[in-house]
Structure 1
Amino acid sequence: LFSKSHPELLKLSHGTLMTCTSLGQPSLHLIDVKDILSVVGMVPHSLTLPSGVVENRFFVVEKSGLKIACSGPEVDD
């Protein structure tokens, strides 16, 4: 669904920014749900590359919302 991470941006960010481009619908395919090992979020953003080119890309978010999911007050049922 997405390209490999941009190697120069990954290096400049010390391995913290994995940014990709969408490969579009032709890259879609079905998989067995039992084959899923993990899930990540792909958050859209636009950035200016070191070359000056502006691109619409996506960055990888792992474990999005796990910490904030339990940050509110406890509710008794």
Structure 2
Amino acid sequence: QLFSDSNPDLYELSCGTLLSCKALGKQSLQLIDITDILSVVGMVPHSPKLPSGVIENWFFVVEKSGLEIANSGPEADDGGDEPEG
């Protein structure tokens, strides 16, 4: 699913930390070549109160949603801590 550009008001109010976008819907879907993918992000739903006072449904960008964390536990550590035998 594609999303809009980020909301500039929320971005400014968050001191440049919140990229909040609107879902563009199924009509925005596109087929792309897998080699064109540069990164994968998560889009987490939230309903912020906008500066106008309106509460709307938005999605904020999460760049590292867990795949790196899932591979960083003790099972993934090949640091040689196991006794030789």
Which category describes the TM-score, using the shorter chain as reference length?
Answer: 0.7 to 0.9
Moved more, 62-71 or 41-50: 62-71
Q: Distance in 1 between matches of 2:39 and 2:68?
A: 17
Q: Secondary structure at the match of 1:59?
A: strand
Structure 1 residue ranges, 4+ long, deviating more than 2 angstroms after superposition: 73-76
Structure 2: gaps (5+ residues)? 77-81
Give the drift of 1:68: 3.2
TM-score under structure 1 length normalisation = 0.86
Q: Residue in 1 aligned with 2:79?
A: none
Q: Distance in 1 between matches of 2:68 and 2:27?
A: 35
How many residues were matched structurally?
A: 75
Pairs within 5 Å for 1:9-28: 9-28=10-29
Q: Residue in 1 aligned with 2:65?
A: 64
TM-score under structure 2 length normalisation = 0.79
Structure 1: gaps (5+ residues)? none
Structure number with higher strand proportion: 1
* Larger CA Rg, structure 1 vs 2: 2
- Which amino acid in the other structure matches residue 63 of structure 1? K
Pairs within 5 Å for 1:1-77: 1-66=2-67, 68-69=69-70, 70-71=72-73, 73-74=74-75
What value does the CA root-mean-square deviation take over the aligned residues? 1.8
